[in-house]
Amino acid sequence: MLALISHHLGMLVALWIVLILTGLNLVVQVIKGLTGRGSWQDMASAATHPLLHHILPLLILAGLTTLDPTHFLILIWYYLAALLVIIADLLNLSQYIKR
């Protein structure tokens, strides 16, 4: 499945951006949790929620590109999902920085 992403530069860059922003959110939430401003439940949720709700659907969409002979429909959904995940991660990051 990752071979499909690596052959398409746009999908690869979108996944990199999503992974970087997810990692930044995780680091910020863990630092806030360790300084006493967060709970262990928030830190555990910060580690598992993005993997299950943001990254896994992108990987599933990448796998579905083999079913679409034109690849355009799945690529549109992939880029739209990646854009929405990026926006959600940026908003989440800004909320944790403001606290």
Exposed (0-12), middle (13-18) or buried (19+): which is 93, by Cβ within 10 Å?
middle
Neighbour count for residue 29 (Cβ, 10 Å)? 21
For residue range 8-34, what is the model confidence (pLDDT) as tens digits? 888 999 999 999 999 998 898 888 888
Which range of residues forms the domain containing residue 28?
Answer: 2-98
Q: Note the pTM of the prediction, 2 decimals.
A: 0.85
Task: Look up residue 8 and give its DSSP letter.
Answer: S
**Would the pLDDT of 39 be above 80?**
no
**Would the pLDDT of 7 be above 90?**
no
Cβ 29 vs Cβ 96: under 8 Å: yes
How many domains does the chain fold into? Answer: 1
Residue 1 has a pLDDT of 63
For residue range 41-98, what is the model confidence (pLDDT) as tens digits? 877 887 898 889 999 999 998 888 888 888 788 889 999 999 999 999 999 999 888 8
